[in-house]
Amino acid sequence: MDFTVPTMADMMAKNQTPDVLFWVGCAGSFDDRAKKITKAIAKILHHCKVNFAVLGAEESCTGDPARRAGNEFTFQMQALMNIQVLNGYEVKKIVTGCPHCFNTLKNEYPELGGNYEVLHHTELIQTLINEGRLKLENGSMFKGKKITFHDPCYLGRANDVYEAPRNLIEKLDAELVEMKRCKTNGLCCGAGGAQMFKEAEKGNKEINVERTEDVLQSNAQIVATGCPFCNTMMTDGVKNVNKETEIEVLDVAELIANAAEL
């Protein structure tokens, strides 16, 4: 990265308070593919001069997969420790690229004492565009491309965010096409509920393959995602049908960063 990403600790040492905390998430920190999404988000924030910081080593799993797997102890341990850190830094506003972190921070932390305004990165980017802070000079690089958005369950059905990512895609000079199962009817990629971390139960098909068939039917050339786990599942799904040269799987943040030439 050609700029420094400040940590909350750095900022505090300088007696500064960022306006927003960028919660990177475990996938965003460690998964090679997801790290690219993280960098795209950071570039957008930096470019728009958003006063942000990350937690760095002080960030820890929100506990989402533990809670979905039925281990409430591990979830609450994580939640209470994170809340201690977040409240310690007096965090008010959080943006994250992971809908699972988003859901947990937004809906499940308040009961345990963590109250923050939590945004999904697509929501924040939309605000930046609306405020004129982000201009998509090179939107035409996607001219004529068919892009479909795969709704992450934890962003869509779980939190009713359907429009922000679509509005961003429409800002590109591209054609937004919908899969037959979209928005409230969107089909899961297969990773939620801690499935990401285990083999699927016995069946006759993988869920991401079923979902990839929806993509093929939509004739989209780009699958836009808003979740690092959906990204992994869809990338694997596209590979599974040998279409990786024709169909790209990109996070909405990556599309926007490309269009803004960041």
Partner 1 sequence: MISIVVFSLLSVLSVGMFTWKMRSIIAQIRLGKKTQRLDQPSLRFKTMLLVAFGQKKMFNRPIPALLHFVFYVAFIITQIELIEVFIDGFSGSHRIFYHTDFQQDYVFIISTIEVLSVLTFVATLAFFSRRNIVKLPRFNMKELLGWPRKDANLILLFELLLIIFIFTMNGADEASKLLQSNVGYGFAMSQYLGPLFFGRINNPEILEVLSKIGWWGHLLMVFVFLNYLPYSKHLHILFAFPNTYFSNLDKKGKFSNMDAVTQEVKLMLDPTLVPAEMTSDTIASFGAKDVNDLSWKNLLDAYSCTECGRCTSVCPANITGKALSPRKIMMDTRDRLQEVGKNNLNCMDGKSLLGDYITEEELWACTSCNACVQECPVNIDPLSIIVDLRRFLVMEESKVPSELTGMLTNIENNGAPWQFSPADRLKWTEEN
Q: Using CB under 8 A, which residues numbered 27 to 56 contact partner 1?
A: 28-30, 35, 38-39, 42, 54-56
Residue 118 near residue 106, CB atoms below 8 Å: yes
Binding mask 173-212 for partner 1 (x = CB under 8 A): -----------xxxxx-xxxxxxxxxxxxxxxxxx-xx--
Determine which residue in the list 7, 127, 167, 258 makes contact with partner 1, applying CB under 8 A: 7
Q: Is 70 helix (H, G, I), strand (E, B) or coil?
A: coil
How many other CB atoms are there within 10 angstroms of residue 71's CB atom?
A: 14
Q: Using CB under 8 A, which residues numbered 72 to 111 contact partner 1?
A: 72-74, 76-78, 80-81, 103, 106-108, 111
> Minimum Å distance from CB 134 to partner 1?
21
Determine which residue in the list 66, 101, 169, 179 makes contact with partner 1, applying CB under 8 A: 66
Query: Is residue 141 at the binding interface for partner 1, with CB under 8 A as the rule?
Result: no
> Minimum Å distance from CB 81 to partner 1?
7
Q: Using CB under 8 A, which residues numbered 223 to 242 contact partner 1?
A: none
Residue 223 near residue 238, CB atoms below 8 Å: yes
The three-state DSSP-derived secondary structure of 168-229 is HHHHCCCEEECCCCCHHHCCCCCCCCCHHHCCCCCCCCCHHHHHHHHHHHHCCCEEEECCHH
User: Which is closer to partner 1, CB of 111 or CB of 131?
Assistant: 111
> Minimum Å distance from CB 254 to partner 1?
14
> Minimum Å distance from CB 143 to partner 1?
27
**In whole angstroms, what is the distance from residue 83 CA to residue 77 CA?**
10
> Minimum Å distance from CB 185 to partner 1?
7
Contacts of 6 (CB under 8 A, 6+ apart): 18, 52, 53, 54
Tell me the window of 58-66, 87-95, 219-227, 253-261 that interacts with partner 1 (CB under 8 A).
58-66
Determine which residue in the list 4, 15, 242, 245 makes contact with partner 1, applying CB under 8 A: 4
> Minimum Å distance from CB 85 to partner 1?
11
Determine which residue in the list 20, 21, 24, 118 makes contact with partner 1, applying CB under 8 A: 24
Strand order in the sheet with 146-149: 175-177, 146-149, 222-225, 248-251
How many other CB atoms are there within 10 angstroms of residue 194's CB atom?
A: 16
**In whole angstroms, what is the distance from residue 7 CA to residue 246 CA?**
39
Which tokens go with 40?
A: 């795209």
